[in-house]
Amino acid sequence: MPCKRPVADETGSEALKHLKIDDTSSDSDPSDTEPTEHVTDAFLDTICRNSLDFDFEEQCSVSLSTTNIYACLVCGKYFQGRGQQTHAYFHSINDEHHVFINLKTLHVYVLPDNYEVMDKSLNDIKDVIQPTYSTRDVMRIDDIIGHGHDLMGRPYTVGCVGLNRVKHTSYINVIIQTLAHIRPIRNFLLTLSNLDKRPPLVHKLSMVVRRMWHARRFKAHISPHECVQEIVVLSKGRFGLDKEADPFELLVWMLNTLHGMVRKKKTSVVYETVRGEMQVATWKVQDMLQDDMVEDVEATILTMPFLALSLELPPTPLFTHPSTDDEDERANIPQVALGTLLQRYNGTTTVETNGLVRQYTVTNLPAYIVCHVKRFTKHNMSEKNLTVVNFPVRNVPFGDLLHVHGSTSVTYDLVVNVCHVGHQGKSAVDGAVLTEFEESPFFAYVRQGENLWFRVHDLQVEPVMPQMLFLSDSYIQVWQRN
């Protein structure tokens, strides 16, 4: 039903006479000529919140321009400008949709009369477009975790929001979920000011994280389209949409890139959170064979930082007992404890590779430890080690396991567990028919509060018991220091 223009009484007519009509063009700044009065308007009844979706790129649906964009609050489409001869102006006349909001300034206007509207009922829309958090909100956000509700009344867990998959980008979704649950990085992105002046990747990632932790969303899911697009462009195609890439490589790239964009005086909240330090002692095998006293061979010792600990799985057995139809296929899969894999970095275990013997000693534990379980033997992820890694989720004594001097009593709790589902990797470009899990092979277990766990697989979010975490093929783990 087309919306009618409201008939103003004498008081309203007098008010409209004093309004300053703005002929803002599509290329000018709408703040140059502001209306002299702010009024409420009967056209607000035509706003349809179910049609609004602000997750996508701010781009005019007609001219494809990305400057001076307004969203129609009736149909949700984006248009450029609000002055005469602009696409928003013509849309208001042709479709009789009259209420528009500037996506940068959050000012609301009625077109084609071109006057600004100030009404408290519009605050929920402004909060969805640009969620803001005070320092007090961030300090309390983990203590008041609960359920939000979308416009349809459907509940969702704040912070555990499903992310829409753009083609083959489940590996990007799990990394966004990971960064959103590393508390110092999350808090930094939630309270970051002057987003428009920040690098595009920081801006887009901050907006996704803010919307994930917003309790009054219109929809119970988010489309990280802009953030994904920025990752593809900034990485120069290294991480794309056509096939699944390695999420661990993306995580390391994201941490280093974000550090370079937000660092101050050679440090940043990123490195302060996840970067540790280790000593690497190196011997040449040839020198050790020539010297009868191996202890006398001098080692080359280097001190280097690390962002993650790579854990080598034992080789897959060549021969296994064939399983019958009645047996569980996982019964023949080998298992290994997390503590066994961490012995590589305890300062006493030696590793021989390429004619060199190395010994790793962790000297400084970060606030958050990232563990990378090396399951794939090739860069194209075509061969996978299915060994099950067993681990507790609380109070793991990393300081004792790694023999870190002065930190033997330090324990860590698991906060994120990124897993891979499936056997040998397939690619859509191979022409194979992929199942739902093969098209989206990565998902994440994330912890909310003290002991609530959720399985987030793109748009699917479901609660799980902590005892179920180790049954999946863990690939990336994030541990928080107690």
Cβ(314)–Cβ(369) under 8 Å? no
Residue 337 host element (H or E): strand 335-337
Of 390, 457, 460, 449, whose CA–CA distance to 420 is shortest? 457
What's the pLDDT at 427? 41
Task: Kindly report the length of the chain.
Answer: 482
What's the pLDDT at 283? 84
Q: How far is CA 194 from the centre of its chain?
A: 20
Q: Which amino acid is at 380?
A: N
What's the pLDDT at 31? 38
CB-count exposure of residue 416 (10 Å: 0-12, 13-18, 19+): buried
Query: Is the link from the previous residue into 112 a cis peptide, with omega within 30 of 0?
Result: yes
Which residue spans within 150-212 are E strands per DSSP? 155-157, 162-163
Mean pLDDT per 10-residue interval, the chain, length 482 residues: 39 34 43 48 86 89 93 94 91 94 93 90 92 88 76 85 90 95 94 90 94 88 91 92 91 95 89 94 71 61 93 79 52 85 90 84 94 82 84 92 83 95 53 53 90 91 89 93 92
Residue 276, helix vs strand vs coil: strand
pTM above 0.95, yes or no: no
Of 482, 478, 465, whose CA–CA distance to 414 is shortest? 478
Cβ(244)–Cβ(170) under 8 Å? yes
What does each C-alpha distance from 231 to 178, 239, 263 come to in angstroms?
16, 7, 19
* Burial readout 302-325 (b: 16 or more C-beta within 10 A, e: otherwise): eeeebbbbebebeeeeeeeeeeee
What's the pLDDT at 297? 65
What's the pLDDT at 239? 93
Helix (H), strand (E), coil (C) string for 6-72: CCCCHHHHHHHHCCCCCCCCCCCCCCCCCCCCCECCHHHHHCCHHHCCCCCCCCCCCCCCCCCEEEE
